Structure 1
């Protein structure tokens, strides 16, 4: 299953990457923000950027035409000159592309796909096609943030996508992190650095033994869209390390609890090797504590599971964020409270 995924080739300077907007017309709504992210890809990583035709369509056109969004994605996979595909931005609408996807196109043209949030849908499209993809920053919410890349994120991108060495232990983020994004409508803020806050420690919420497992997961809200579709396969989760995180919408602890109860009822939770949780996009300490307690309530108190749970990792709706390679073998170390990726992300 996950161990059989096709692993894409690494990126090199001078390669061409395609940009798709599979969920929301953010590039047309905030063109300067989008172009800033494109510039970072070109200047920081030496990449040639190809913006797919429908990526800059209006938000209304993007919403009304899931088939055209899918066509852009399929065209990017078919294009032999394109070595990677990067999401422009998330949203909440990628699932409507499903009827228009040709999985053989993805399988026969393996390449890197990078994105997070609603891109969870596209990651599961890749999984169904048998291809490893990469949960990480998008053009606008990632590459275009904070007027330059925070070193932690730049290092993760280079180590994960431009290098085929074993990734190893994910080192602690000592750079700091940002909670709130600038107002994207104010272009004068594009070159203004935001205050970096001290990164809270990774916490061990449950478990007392190290585990290994392959990485599977995404944004919790978006994973709900996938259930009972042709993309959802419970076998993905057997002996896996589930990575989950919540969006800027800040779903309540009740929703987190209900979603996890669904994983329990469907037999997924008891089959997991462990869980890692991304840092919530919130300054509300009470909100964060309630989310932690919801996770503990379901996994430990209700299901009596002793699987390790690491909380506060740098992925998902936080800035900077690391790249998480789907299907990669990883290890949770409970004493050190670390995640170690035991293989290279690319070949």
Structure 2
């Protein structure tokens, strides 16, 4: 049976929001982008950003970063938590977290990428969260907040409600270098998006979400931190996205196949796959090759889902995860995937 999760209460304007670096302390590397992000976070939400000892501390050890998370969960004046960015070693932070503090006072947590570790930790405690939000990527850079990000940010933190997940019509894989002054005023190289790709039966599915960054899910499973039987995801919606590491399509397929062998693909009723990044600062294939790389990832995921669960509704190309503009989506909250109408809605309650 699908696991029932607690949905943390919303914050209110004037409340404090902890801004933490559970993985890489990007604010210590590029403080100008961080400071602009803090101003914009306050302006967009009315919340008061609060930094902690490791928010800007490059090289902080796992115990120090966990201590900041524990303090934020334990502080009754802090009503939400957002991560500055992802990284690659948050798996080492999780053993030092205080589960009882999070259970006593559940709060909305927002983060993406390596923060999949924290989303899975909260899910294991029975607490819903929000997959998305990165102050250093989605709030600080560029001329301002993207409209879809601002709407889902407010819905996750303050307003709740049910929003239709839409395509903003443009996307970038990577912005300007954070230490380039143009990062404060310009987007990265954006290009038009392709229509979302639908497969599976033409039916509507509504269920709680589970998932995150595909590479990090592999680490979570390898570390033995998803101990539930597959039926804990029964009737749910799986969220899958890939990182700026630009995995080859065949490796994406191998990981998705392993999810199938674990029984997780067969358990869910729908799978949402994000538009993947296919370029970075060093590698920028031409437009034709970029489209081909995205199509290759799409095809291998669709193939593996169909192999293990031909009844699942699958939509590929949703703007969440590592590209921008980004939708923040519920993790453990309800999402509707309508394969007949070819529309997606998210419940931020």
Q: TM-score with structure 2 length normalisation?
A: 0.91
Gaps in structure 1 of 5+ consecutive residues: none
Superposition deviation, residue 8 in structure 1: 1.2
User: Secondary structure of 1:106's match?
Assistant: helix
* 1:287/1:45 CA distance change after superposition, 3 Å: same
Superposition deviation, residue 2 in structure 1: 5.6
Runs of 4+ with >6 A deviation: none
Q: Distance in 1 between matches of 2:127 and 2:39?
A: 28
Q: Does 1:136 align with 2:132?
A: yes
Q: Distance in 1 between matches of 2:50 and 2:309?
A: 50
Q: What is the Cα-based RMSD across aligned positions, in Å?
A: 1.8
User: Secondary structure of 2:117's match?
Assistant: helix
* 1:17/1:263 CA distance change after superposition, 3 Å: same
Instruction: After TM superposition, list the pairs within 5 Å mapping 1:171-190 onto structure 2.
Output: 172-174=166-168, 176-190=170-184
Q: Distance in 1 between matches of 2:31 and 2:168?
A: 32
Alignment partner, residue 341 of structure 2: 336
Superposition deviation, residue 211 in structure 1: 2.0
Q: Distance in 1 between matches of 2:120 and 2:239?
A: 14
Q: Distance in 2 between matches of 1:286 and 1:211?
A: 29
Q: Does structure 2 retain, via aligned residues, the 8 Å contact 1:218–1:245?
A: yes
* 1:176/1:293 CA distance change after superposition, 3 Å: closer
Q: Does 1:266 align with 2:262?
A: yes
Alignment partner, residue 56 of structure 1: 56
Superposition deviation, residue 151 in structure 1: 1.1
Instruction: After TM superposition, list the pairs within 5 Å mapping 1:225-236 onto structure 2.
Output: 225-232=219-226, 233=228, 234-236=230-232
Gaps in structure 2 of 5+ consecutive residues: 279-286
**Among 103, 106, 109, the residue aligned to 2:105:** 109
Alignment partner, residue 37 of structure 1: 37
Q: Does structure 1 retain, via aligned residues, the 8 Å contact 2:132–2:328?
A: yes
Q: Distance in 2 between matches of 1:54 and 1:37?
A: 17
Q: Does structure 1 retain, via aligned residues, the 8 Å contact 2:313–2:337?
A: yes
* 1:145/1:337 CA distance change after superposition, 3 Å: farther
Q: Does structure 1 retain, via aligned residues, the 8 Å contact 2:265–2:309?
A: no
Per-residue Cα deviation, 1:60-79 (whole angstroms, up to 9, x for no partner): x22xx101110000001011
Q: Does structure 2 retain, via aligned residues, the 8 Å contact 1:203–1:337?
A: no
Superposition deviation, residue 339 in structure 1: 1.3
**Among 302, 314, 322, the residue aligned to 1:317:** 322
Q: Distance in 1 between matches of 2:303 and 2:163?
A: 31
* 1:254/1:53 CA distance change after superposition, 3 Å: same
Alignment partner, residue 296 of structure 1: 302
* 1:182/1:103 CA distance change after superposition, 3 Å: same
Q: Does structure 2 retain, via aligned residues, the 8 Å contact 1:151–1:175?
A: no
Alignment partner, residue 217 of structure 2: 223
Q: Distance in 1 between matches of 2:98 and 2:156?
A: 27
User: Secondary structure of 1:244's match?
Assistant: strand
Per-residue Cα deviation, 1:122-173 (whole angstroms, up to 9, x for no partner): 11111122211111111101111322001121112223321133x1432x23
Superposition deviation, residue 35 in structure 1: 1.4
Superposition deviation, residue 18 in structure 1: 0.6
> Which 10-residue stretch deviates more, 215-224 or 18-27?
18-27
**Among 66, 69, 75, the residue aligned to 1:70:** 66
Superposition deviation, residue 190 in structure 1: 0.9
Q: Distance in 1 between matches of 2:186 and 2:202?
A: 43
Alignment partner, residue 88 of structure 1: 84
Q: Distance in 2 between matches of 1:34 and 1:206?
A: 42
* 1:176/1:296 CA distance change after superposition, 3 Å: closer
User: Secondary structure of 1:152's match?
Assistant: helix
Q: Does structure 1 retain, via aligned residues, the 8 Å contact 2:249–2:300?
A: yes
Superposition deviation, residue 221 in structure 1: 0.6
> Which 10-residue stretch deviates more, 92-101 or 196-205?
196-205
User: Secondary structure of 2:238's match?
Assistant: strand
User: Secondary structure of 2:159's match?
Assistant: coil
Q: TM-score with structure 1 length normalisation?
A: 0.91
